[in-house]
Structure 1
């Protein structure tokens, strides 16, 4: 079982940067065959945690760490990915499992650094950099971004500033300090991994926070993250490869949001 799971994790590392390109690479070599019949979720040795079993054997990460989940909902989310696999195990179709591996093997021992990375994102967040024209794009950004930025400022007690164009604007130290205190509430490794994934996929930690706190849906966050792209599509049409890449990234976004909220489920 370890070899098959390592194959999935290798696919994970390749898909993280460019889902479309890496999916093509994945197609060039055979995927590992499904090696189990039954997928179950059971309480782990620690009764406060849950494990996924494949034909009675506990799923572990490629680094041989047990995947112990804090809620049954989270375990069932990932178990569903295993159950949905047919003849082969396709890493592209198991985004929550790959994210869980990252949480256990990379984030758990580096939670403070990951949280710090989220704060650094706030220093140059997408929502703070505005187009100077045309008027239609400016209006679209204001409609999608202004309410969310105002909410972030209210929630964190900061005053993030916006700027026109792409010239870097340094955010006030007190705003970043307030945001650091706010994201400091996220201590669970799975949630931090999900937050970081949503941030990198959207280019906005503010959008990730809004999804995490239920202020907006993942779908609305995804739309807000692509205001500029959608404006260009409306003017010039859509590129097929860009569409495929965006769809692949949306799969990752949706999985990250579901994983985050599954941690909170009772």
Structure 2
């Protein structure tokens, strides 16, 4: 695939010079020694130390990538052997190292399916050069749960390495969106995707792109919604879900209509928009068919856009582009950000921008959408090019 090959080469070239400069300027300090000192500080309990890891000082000099083995089934103690030359992730599995949020797991629930969700074609020929890890001072990093951080794409590994290398004095996990998505895929989604799959369906039932302003109340905003969401529902329904052209999602026009049709009733057993059952069934089938990487990217895009249709359109185009089946990008991350922020941008036009608020929201939305699209596209490109 020529397009995907160029994408991988561009990512490799852009980071190659940085790795070389860092390697020549490196010192011989050991990251493990710094880690031991941080955890053995006086008057700091293990839990408190874990909470402080996210804002700790940078403890490494050289960032790189190295060949790794494909994910293998963890043992009964939730361990995966991948050599002793590793460094634990300084990002906690939870806020305080515990199961502190809904859907967060601290162990592999279903090890029999964990490998399959990360590597859906594991029965094919996979030599270790096809998977990559990120190294800090030559030591491969692990996920917050202590699992090997193995990625199926060299471009993806380079992107994560770039995030680690961009950390200056203190580590800021919030500035590492691709690392976050990959850790979530390995530790959480591959273990048990149920919570993420369920939440995505919730976004479908309350999809922001299905709530339209009444044109008699605000024709300007209605026109902007039409421009941003033009043919969105038809594209996802027909091209992705394979539904007839005349079968689309339920849509509400105006506030009173939205309250009326989205409330729970005899005809609508669940709160939310009463989409056709076939549409919901097809959406569930597609969501359940995704590997852990793509499902994580889809969930992140849904959470950012509050829309299944916007997220699905972007992720679907990213994967199709990686396979060479999409020649013109029309549902790229830039479009997704605009489509997700129609009402907010309209309010900014009307009432002005709040510095330190709206501008940060714009930036964060762009970062999350580009990260999700990047992960989905590179995973799809890697599996497609390698015949996996």
Query: Structure 1 length normalisation: TM-score?
Result: 0.83
1:212 aligns with 2:315: yes
Query: 8 Å contact 1:73–1:265 — kept in the other structure?
Result: no
Taking the aligned partners of 1:175 and 1:30, their CA distance within structure 2 comes to 42
1:42 aligns with 2:66: yes
Aligned to 2:379: 263
Distance 1:177 1:29, change over 3 A: closer
Say which is worse superposed, 38-47 or 243-252, in terms of deviation. 243-252
Taking the aligned partners of 1:226 and 1:249, their CA distance within structure 2 comes to 9
Q: How many residues align?
A: 244
Greater helix fraction, Structure 1 or Structure 2 = 1
1:91 aligns with 2:173: yes
1:145 positional shift = 1.1
Structure 1 unmatched runs, 5+: 8-25
1:72 positional shift = 1.5
SS in 2 for 1:213: helix
1:68 positional shift = 0.9
Aligned to 2:249: 160
Taking the aligned partners of 2:334 and 2:248, their CA distance within structure 1 comes to 26
Taking the aligned partners of 1:85 and 1:137, their CA distance within structure 2 comes to 41
Aligned to 2:184: 102
1:176 aligns with 2:291: no
Aligned to 2:6: none
Equivalent residue in structure 2 for 1:194, among 282, 288, 297? 297
1:30 positional shift = 9.0
Taking the aligned partners of 2:53 and 2:280, their CA distance within structure 1 comes to 45
SS in 1 for 2:148: coil
Query: 8 Å contact 1:77–1:259 — kept in the other structure?
Result: no
Taking the aligned partners of 2:361 and 2:248, their CA distance within structure 1 comes to 34
Instruction: Please identify the structure whose Cα radius of gyration is greater.
Output: 2
1:35 positional shift = 1.3
1:67 aligns with 2:67: no
Equivalent residue in structure 1 for 2:55, among 13, 16, 31? 31
Query: 8 Å contact 1:130–1:138 — kept in the other structure?
Result: yes
Query: 8 Å contact 2:333–2:366 — kept in the other structure?
Result: no
Say which is worse superposed, 128-137 or 206-215, in terms of deviation. 206-215
Runs of 4 or more above 4 Å deviation: 1-4
Distance 1:73 1:30, change over 3 A: closer
Taking the aligned partners of 2:284 and 2:55, their CA distance within structure 1 comes to 41
Taking the aligned partners of 1:86 and 1:233, their CA distance within structure 2 comes to 34
1:82 aligns with 2:164: yes
1:136 aligns with 2:220: yes
Aligned to 1:243: 359
Q: Deviations over 1:160-206 (max 9, x none)?
A: 1211133213111111112222333312x122111101100011111
Aligned to 1:125: 207
Taking the aligned partners of 1:145 and 1:131, their CA distance within structure 2 comes to 13
Query: 8 Å contact 2:131–2:150 — kept in the other structure?
Result: yes
Q: Deviations over 1:24-53 (max 9, x none)?
A: xx9x99932211121121111341421111
Query: 8 Å contact 2:233–2:248 — kept in the other structure?
Result: no
Aligned to 1:111: 193
Structure 2 unmatched runs, 5+: 1-30, 39-50, 71-127, 263-272, 318-329, 383-388
Q: Deviations over 1:112-152 (max 9, x none)?
A: 44223322321221111111130111111112113111111
